[in-house]
Amino acid sequence: MGSRNFLLLKSSSSPATHARVISPLSCSSCLQTNNFHASSRKLNLHLFPSTKHFPAIYQKASGYSYTPYAAMPIPRPIAGVDLETLENQLVDEKQLMILRQKLQAIGIHGESYLPGQYNALLCPSCKGGDSGEKSLSLNISPSGGQAAWTCFRAKCGWRGATRAFADVTSTYAKMNSVAKVKQPIRTITEESLSLEPLCNELLAYFAERMISGETLRRNSVMQKRTGDQIAIAFTYRRKGDLVSCKYRDISKKFWQEANTEKIFYGLDDIKEGSDIIIVEGEMDKLAMEEAGFKNCVSVPDGAPPKVSNKALPSEEEDTKYQYLWNCKEYTEKASRIILATDGDAPGQALAEELARRLGRERCWRVKWPNKNDTESFKDANEVLMYMGPDALRNVIETAELYPIRGLFNFKDYYGEIDDYYHQSLGFELGVSTGWSALNDLYNVVPGELTIVTGVPNSGKSEWIDALLCNLNHSAGWKFALCSMENRVREHARKLLEKHIKKPFFDVRYGEYVERMSAEDLEQGKKWLSDSFALIRCENDCLPSINWVLDLARIAVLRHGVRGLVIDPYNELDHQRPSNQTETEYVSQMLTKIKRFAQHHSCHVWFVAHPRQLHNWIGGPPNMYDISGSAHFINKCDNGIVIHRNRDPEAGPIDIVQVCVRKVRNKVIGTIGDAYLSYNRVTGEYMDVDMSSQIDNKRKR
C-alpha cells in the first residue's frame, strides 16, 4: 500500500525568536500519485534518518537539538573585563551537577543539555500535548549556575527559573541585564520562503476535511518543501502583501516564520465587514468559508491555558495579543464580533481574553452542538465534517450575546419562570404559618425579609418561636437563631414547650398541667439539635451584622437552614463612619440582609423595637414607629406588628393581634389583621373565632 510520509524532527526553540524546527509533511512527489492510497486516504508516519535536512544553524548534541549560544544577541561588554577571558570561562561542574538534580526533581530530565545553549526538551507539565512535541526551551547559563525554561505551547506556557546555590549570582546574569533588543520585522515573499501550490495529496487531505480547492486558492493556502518533506503553509496577508506564514503538518504540529508581524489570518476578509467572526485556528477559518462566511479571521497563536487574573496590560506589554493591536483599525469598525473559539477550557479562556480587549458589549458567542449525550463538538471544522455546512451556518446565526456581569435578558431565566409557573421549585405560593387566620394574609417564602415589631412584652419573640415550630412540623424547615436577648437554656425551654405541648416545669404557670417527662425531654433535645443552629457571640463585644450573616451562610451550607432569626436589632453593634447617618446605615444593613436571603433562599425574620411612644393609648404601633429609620418598612418584603391587649375591659388578655402591615408579593398574602389565642402554659398560639368573642364583649 502506498503512503504519504511525514518527518517528525526534534524541535529547537529560541526565546528571542520563538521559532521551532519541526519537520514538515513528507511527499515523495507531488506529481506522482502512486504513493497515495486513494481508497483509504490514510497517512502513514515514519522517521527519516538522514540529518542532511537540518538547517546549518542547528547542531545536534547527545540527542538534543539546540541553537548555539554564539547565535544569541551578544550582551553589552563590562568595562575592565576581557571578552576573550569570558568566552573561555570554564563551567563549574559541581554547581552544574546540583543544578541538574534540581531540574530533575521538577521533571526536567536529561543529562546532556549543555550550558550556554537553548535546549529543546519535552515539557513535564503538558507532555508536549497530543503530538508530543518538544516545546520546552531550557537555557543553562555558561557557568552552569542557573537555568530558566519556558514552554512555548500556547495551551501550557509553563515557565520558571532556578539556581544551583541561592547565594550565587552569575557573571552572565549581570552581563545580560541589558534589556533585550527587539528584532526588526522581516520582509518576506512567496519566493523567499520557497512557497508553492498545494500538491494533489494535500488537496485530498483538505477534501477529507470538507475544504474545497476554491476556498484554498482564495485564501492562498500553499505548501513549503524541504527535501522530500512538505508542510502546509497558511499565508498571513494584509492588503494582499505577505506579512507572515504559519506551517502545519498532518500531525498538527505548528511553527511560524520568526520576526514577522503578528496579525489575524484572513485579515483582508474583514476590511469592510460590520460583523466579523473570530475562530481559533486556520482550519476553522476555512470551514467558516465553506458555510458561507468569508468575514472570518483566525488568531495566530492559539489559546491560553486559562484566563489571566491580572489587569489588562498596556499595548506595549500585551505581547501575547499583539495581533489585536496590530489589527485595531480593522476590528474597531465592527459593530458585532462573534467569538467562535474552541469549546474546550482554553478556547473559552481565549474568548474571554478577546472580549476583554474588544469590548464585551459588541461580542457574541457560539454554542457548539452536542456530539452525544456527554460531549459537544469542539470547533467549526468538526461541525462542518460531521454535520455539514448548514449546521455550521445555524451555529453562527444563533450566536448569543456575550455575557456581561450584571446585565441579563429574560430568556436567561426562562427555565426558572417555567418552574415557577408549574410550581416545581417548591414553596412558590409560600408555606402556611399553621394558623388558618393567617392563610390569606401571610405565608412564608424562602428568600424574603420579614420585619417584626411591637411594643415591649407583646410577644414578638414568642410568636416567631411558635411560627418556627409550625414550619418545622409541616415543612421540615431548619433554622439559625441569633437571639441575643435569650439565654440558651431559656430559649430551649420555650421551644420545647411549644414542640412537646407540655410545660417545662410544674410550678407557677404550669401547676395545673402535667409536666414533660424526662423521656419527653430527651426526645425534645434531639429535635432541638436536629432543627436549630445557634449564632451567639460569647465575647464581651456586640456582634455586627456582617458577623451574623457570615455565620448564617455557614449554617446554610453546613446544616441546610431555610430560615434565620435576628432578634433584636438594638443588640447588634451599629458602629458606623462619622460621615454616615443612621438612615444610611440602616439602608445599607437591610440591603445586606436581603442579598443574603435572596442568594441563599433563606427567609429572614428581623425583630426591631419601636421608638418610645408618646401619648400611647394602648393600640398597636405602626411600622413607621420603628426606632432608627423608615427604611425598615420601605425595604422589607413583609412587615408584621404583634400586639397584645393589656386591658381586661377592652377584651380578652390572652388574645394576640397579628397585624400584617406590608406584603410585597401579592401571591403570598395581603394587608390585614388576624387574631390568635395564646396559651401561657405551653407558649402555643392557636386559632380563635375572634368575631364571636368581640360580639360577646359588646353584649356585656
Instruction: List the domains of the chain with CATH numbers.
Output: 93-170 (no CATH), 190-401 (3.40.1360.10), 443-639 (3.40.50.300)
> pTM of the full predicted structure?
0.60
Which comes out higher in pLDDT, residue 493 or 251? 493
Q: What pLDDT digit, counting tens, does each position of 128-184 carry?
A: 777 777 788 888 888 778 888 888 777 787 888 888 776 544 433 333 433 445 678
pLDDT of residue 489 exceeding 60, the answer is: yes
Q: What is the mean pLDDT of the chain?
A: 82
Question: What span, in angstroms and rounded, lies between the C-alpha atoms of 527 and 96?
Answer: 69
Using alpha carbons, select from 302, 396, 293 the residue that is nearest to residue 344.
Answer: 302
pLDDT tens by residue, 303-341: 999 999 889 999 889 989 999 999 999 999 999 999 999
- 258's CB contacts (< 8 A; 6+ apart) are 14, 17, 18, 19, 183, 186
Question: What is residue 511's predicted lDDT score, i.e. its pLDDT?
Answer: 59
What is d(CA 253, CA 256) in angstroms, rounded to the nearest whole number? 11
- Three cell numbers, residue 400: 448569543
> For position 649, what pLDDT does the model report?
77
pLDDT one-digit tens code per residue, 519-541: 999 999 999 999 999 999 888 78
Helix (H, G, I), strand (E, B) or coil at 393: helix
pLDDT reading at 501 higher than 50: yes
Residue 669 forms beta bridges with which residues?
442
Residue with the bigger pLDDT between 122 and 8: it is 122
Position 247 pLDDT exceeds 70: yes
Tell whether the model's pLDDT for residue 4 goes beyond 90. no
Identify the sign of the CA torsion 58, 281, 315, 274: positive
Q: Collapsing DSSP states into helix, strand and coil, what is residue 634? A: helix
Q: Is the pLDDT of residue 39 over 80?
A: no
pLDDT at 133: 77
pLDDT band at residue 600 using 50, 70 and 90 as cut-offs: very high
Instruction: Identify whether the C-beta of residue 676 lies closer than 8 Å to the C-beta of residue 437.
Output: yes
Dihedral angle sign, alpha carbons of residues 516, 517, 523, 529:
positive
Res 510: pLDDT: 56
What is the CB-side half-sphere exposure of residue 444 using CA atoms within 13 A?
26
Nearest to 341 by CA among 332, 330, 350, 353: 350
CA–CA separation, 697 and 230 (whole Å): 106
The pLDDT tens digits of the residues spanning 344-397 come to 999 999 999 999 999 999 999 999 999 998 999 999 999 999 999 999 999 999
Residue of higher predicted confidence among 427 and 659: 659
Contacts of 326 (CB under 8 A, 6+ apart): 261, 262, 263
Confidence category of residue 648, pLDDT binned at 50, 70, 90: confident
Alpha helices, H only, 359-444? 380-387, 389-397, 414-421
140 DSSP β-pair partners: 115, 147
pLDDT by residue (tens digit) across 650-667?
Answer: 778 889 999 999 999 999
